[in-house]
Homo-oligomer: A and B are copies of this chain.
Amino acid sequence: MTALKYSRQREAIKDYLMSTTTHPTADSVYAHIRKDFPRISMGTVYRNLSLLAEQGELQQLPCADGGDRFDANITAHAHFFCSKCQCVLDLDIPEVQGLTQIATTTFNGRIDSQQVVFHGLCPDCLRA
């Protein structure tokens, strides 16, 4: 992990992710950043998202639809993925922590409490 050199593009990407509670895909990040950096490329977006995730400055959530989601909220919280509209929501359920404990002891592996993912229909899709 060598020192990163400052870049306006990377800062813009991080700022954007810190300003939203949605969980953008690389593509959404690209679409948004393009407003300020019309010539930015997908390569740069992907490279910077990976770099920031490596540095622990954001969480990279691999999702059920294949596309990763990015989250600047790095506190321990579970996620929900809607199998219909593919949105990703935070799921702040304290019980998850306890469950992670239980699972870990019977399981003998290490369970990462930040990466518990529930699937189903989000409130909006359920209502519709």
A83 contacts across to B, CB distance below 8 A: 112, 115
A128 to chain B, nearest CB (A): 11
Which stretch in A17-25, A39-47, A89-97 binds the other chain? Answer: A89-97
A73 to chain B, nearest CB (A): 17
Assess whether A123 is in contact with B96, with CB atoms less than 8 Å apart.
no
**A108 CA to B99 CA, complexed, in Å:** 21
A96 to B, closest residue via Cβ: B99
**A99 CA to B95 CA, complexed, in Å:** 7
How many copies the complex holds: the figure is 2
A112 to B, closest residue via Cβ: B120
A residues contacting the other copy or chain, number (CB 8 A): 34
User: Given contacts A66-B66, A109-B122, is CB(A95)–CB(B102) below 8 Å?
Assistant: yes
Per-residue CB contact flags for chain A residues 63-106 toward chain B (1 = under 8 Å, else 0) read 11110000000000000101100000001010110011011001
Which of B64, B65, B99, B110 contacts A120 (CB under 8 A)? B110
**A47 CA to B91 CA, complexed, in Å:** 34
Could you pull out 22 A-B pairs where Cβ atoms are within 8 angstroms? A62-B64, A62-B66, A63-B64, A66-B66, A80-B109, A91-B103, A91-B107, A93-B99, A93-B102, A93-B103, A93-B106, A95-B102, A99-B99, A100-B118, A103-B118, A109-B120, A109-B122, A109-B125, A116-B117, A116-B118, A117-B117, A117-B118
